[in-house]
Structure 1
Amino acid sequence: MSPATAEWLLDEFEYDDFIELQNWGARKGVRLATVSLSERGAAVKNSEISKEALRLGLLTELIRLREVTVMPTEGDWFMPAEELSSGEYHMLSTMLAVGFALEPKAVLLMDEPENNLHPQWQRDLMSAIFDVCDKVRLDGHVIISTHSPLIVGSVPESSSVVDMSSEPTRLSLVSYGASSDELLLSQFGVGSSRNAIVVETIQRAISMVENGSYGGEDFLGLVPDLKKIRAALTDNDPLISVIDALIDDGE
């Protein structure tokens, strides 16, 4: 453990938390604690250890996770976390990391959060991220690198957008809930230099996502066209990640 980490732990936890963790670990036999995470917060069950002492144990790796299960919002059964899809696991791990680590003065860095997420989940993830920021009363910054217009369109009003692909670097403000047309044109360079059919096809697909008709018959009818467009793009085209997100779960 680094001196900086040790100093942070001393500032973060009370002296009693260290003593409680030490006493709990000194007990003989197997020591198990069940932690339940819900909309009401965290609760420790079947154990005499407090939430703070348990959190301290996890951060110092004196306590390890043995099994993680999740319960669907519409159901009363549990499933192991390792059985989640890659997108579901990405959502879960991202929200847990942000929820447990975010502090009021923090700078939150996110690199391409759209990876492994179909379009609607991209919007859901960003909505959840900014909900957490509001609850924590974040007085720092959220910095996101992305190729997805849906991520850009999900950020709070008047957020700064920096286009790193242009020379010189271009700074602009994004309007909350901007249409797919505006985002594709202003942030991703999809304008008159591209085939009009290409632009219209991609705009239609993203508009369907925005309107909640993702995965419907009309959307599925666009998937073959999106694949053809995807195959014709160069490897470094910024639209590749946009189209991939649209077709990954649309088939």
Structure 2
Amino acid sequence: MSEIVTLRDGTQQTSENSFTVINGENGAGKSAILRIISDAALGLDASRSKVFASAIGIDQVGSVSRTIAISGTHNDRFPLNSGVEFRLNSNQFDLMHFYYYGPKQSGNYTSVSKASNTIAHSLLSDEQSSGFPSKQLTALLEFLGFEPEVRIVVQTGIRIKRREEFEYLLALERHLRSVQAESSMPSKIPQSFEFSISQASLLSERGAFRNLLGSRYSGAELSVDLRAERTIQVFDGPLFSILQQASSISLPQTLANFISLGLLTSKIVLFRKSTRNEVRLEDLSSGEWQLLYTLMNLSINISPDGLILIDEPENSLHPHWQTEYVSLVRKLISHVRGCHVIIATHSPLIAASIMPSDGNLIRLMRNHLSGQLYAHMEETAYGWLPSDVLQERFDLDSARPPELTRAINTALRLLKLSSEPTDNLRQAAEEIRKLKRYLPAHDPLLPAADAIIDIAFPDEGGPRDKPHRGE
């Protein structure tokens, strides 16, 4: 039996970027479906998610300019690539317009160093297809409590310090041309990158640059001010002087290319809005790190008609930030049009943030016995209480702890049969007596719990002597 589900309803009046939220129980295949959609958008014939790929077909309407994958979980199914780095083992996939921002990279965890290099590369590159989103990035930094300014400390990289730089760069240039010749897809590698390889090869034979590569160079600083348009202030240093004298392209783009080559690495410094205290990337909380790393790169690198796939963004986010998440994404891509954002989530707060003008919800269900996958399009739950979203959109009968729910349901089922204080009713009421003390004093379940206890223990008059939480 086949089923057709439209992720983006063409008859629905939507805003200029649309959203689809997919929810479903663990094992329903949400992450796998994101991978299948990603592979289809990239024109890949086979998907790694073989369990579901054979049963799911993707019909794509229109073209996708680029695919950006964001993950809040280490167990996402997104394909791996080398990020902003180009290496001797990079392949055709590393050239495709696919961008991954999440907790893993090249099979390993995304380290602070990798995240810093990715952010620095995005901020410094001149290759944005839709202009630089200063307004959007300012909103993100202010949301996180930072000034709209990013300090980048550039240092010599470590990738080739143990090799002969000249030979390595020649090999890298040959490898890039070979991979480009084999690929039939448009490349995300900027035209200036190949020039930077040749430039680096020449510089590697000069004494001043070789001395920097071979030393423990403390680094040079530059500041990216986002208050109006992107303004980059460069502080004097020997590295910048050498690069500016040797290059015909802009210094920021040269630095971005040299980061991709592994010749340079970077550190990111932010400034607290209230105190101007410096905060390094490694000092951020997990939630701050996740929002800064993923959404800053998203806003800079998204292009019109892009596809944005987001897997479990609620991880590490306080409920307040979960309620703000969709609004943040909406704001950070507001400078482009025609994008489709697909979010797989377990969070009712995120599901309740999708406006009717944004798009729709998809409920995903899988019969684990037959393997049949079911999907149902639903109206949005914008503005609903979390308890209503859990019940109506996540099929959760109650958001209360299962022990209390079972005891209440057992007692009610017994009372339907008889109002006599049987042993089974007393056992259920005893459990309710033990658990109800943790409920807040205003909880609407308390009168029902007290009534059950009164019926089960008529001679005691109910355990009213035990205070509830909040009394």
Shorter-chain TM range is 0.5 to 0.7
Match of 1:19 in 2: 195
- 2:364 maps to 164
Choose which of 250, 256, 259 in structure 2 pairs with 1:58: 259
Structure 1 match to 2:26? none
Instruction: Confirm whether residue 87 of structure 1 aligns to residue 176 of structure 2.
Output: no
1:152 corresponds to which letter in structure 2?
A
Shift of 1:155: 2.7
Residues 18-57 of structure 1: matches in 2 within 5 Å? Answer: 18-19=194-195, 22-23=198-199, 26=203, 28=209, 29=212, 32-36=220-224, 38-40=226-228, 41=230, 43=232, 45-46=234-235, 47=240, 48=244, 49-57=250-258
Which shows bigger deviation, 181-190 or 34-43? 34-43
TM-aligned CA deviation for residue 51 of structure 1? 2.8
- Structure 2, unaligned runs of 5 or more: 1-89, 96-175, 245-249, 368-373, 406-437, 441-471
Conserved 8 A contact 1:44-1:51 = no
1:180 aligned partner, one-letter code: P
Q: Secondary structure at the match of 1:169?
A: strand
Alignment of 1:181-196 (within 5 A): 181-191=387-397
Bigger share in helix: 1
In the TM superposition, what are the counterparts of 1:1-251 in structure 2 within 5 Å? 1-3=90-92, 5=95, 7=180, 13-15=190-192, 18-19=194-195, 22-23=198-199, 26=203, 28=209, 29=212, 32-36=220-224, 38-40=226-228, 41=230, 43=232, 45-46=234-235, 47=240, 48=244, 49-65=250-266, 67-135=267-335, 137-158=336-357, 159-165=359-365, 168-191=374-397
Instruction: For residue 149 of structure 1, report the CA deviation from its aligned partner.
Output: 0.9
Deviation at 1:175, TM superposition (A): 4.4
- Do the aligned residues in 1 keep the contact of 2:225 with 2:231 (CA within 8 Å)? yes
Find the structure with the greater CA-based Rg. 2
1:70-104 deviations in Å (ceiling 9; x for gaps): 21232212122111111111121122331233222
Find the aligned partners of 1:23 and 1:193 in 2 and give their Cα distance.
Answer: 61
Q: How far does residue 34 in structure 1 lie from its aligned partner after superposition?
A: 2.4
CA contact 2:286–2:316 (8 Å) conserved in 1 = yes
Superposed CA deviations along residues 196-242 of structure 1, whole A, max 9, x for unmatched, are: x87xxxxxxxxxxxxxxxxxxxxxxxxx659xxxxxxxxxxxxxxxx
Taking structure 1 as the reference length, the TM-score comes to: 0.63
Deviation at 1:115, TM superposition (A): 0.2
Tell me how far apart the structure 2 counterparts of residues 191 and 127 of structure 1 sit (CA, whole Å). Answer: 28
> What is the Cα-based RMSD across aligned positions, in Å?
3.6
How much identity, in percent, do the aligned residues show? 21
Consecutive unaligned residues in structure 1, runs of 5 or more: 199-223, 227-251
Q: Secondary structure at the match of 2:334?
A: helix
Change beyond 3 A, Cα 1:62–1:186: farther
Alignment deviations for residues 23-73 of structure 1 (CA, whole Å, 9 cap, x no partner):
4782623573524263544625224453333333334444322x2222123
Paired residue secondary structure (2:343)? strand
Provide the secondary structure at the position in 2 that maps to 1:134.
coil
SS of 2:379's partner is strand
Return closer, same or farther for 1:83/1:193 CA change in 2, 3 Å cut-off: closer
Q: How far is the alpha carbon of 1:18 from its aligned partner?
A: 4.8
The letter of the residue matching 1:2 is N
CA distance in 2, matches of 1:145, 1:183: 15
2:381–2:389 contact (8 Å) kept in structure 1: no
What residue is the counterpart of 1:229 in the other structure? none
AA in 1 matched with 2:195: I
Seen in structure 2, the aligned counterparts of structure 1 residues 133 and 177 have a Cα distance that, compared at 3 Å, is: farther
* Cα distance in structure 2, aligned partners of 1:11 and 1:191: 48
Instruction: Give 1:161 shift.
Output: 1.2
Measure, in 2, the Cα distance between the counterparts of 1:78 and 1:129. 26
Go from structure 1 to structure 2 and tell me whether the alpha carbon gap of 1:90 and 1:148 turns closer, same or farther (over 3 Å shift): same
20 and 147 in structure 1: CA distance in 2 versus 1, 3 angstrom threshold: same
Shift of 1:128: 1.8
Task: Figure out how many residues of one structure are paired with residues of the other and give that number.
Answer: 198
2:387/2:399 contact within 8 Å kept? no
1:51 is matched by which residue type in structure 2? P
Contact residue 270 and residue 278 of structure 2 kept, 8 A: yes
**Cα distance in 1, alignment partners of residues 354 and 231 from structure 2:** 28
Aligned to 2:72: none
Inter-partner Cα distance in structure 2 for 1:193 and 1:120: 18
Q: TM-score under structure 2 normalisation?
A: 0.36
Contact kept, 8 Å, 1:163 with 1:187, in 2: the verdict is yes
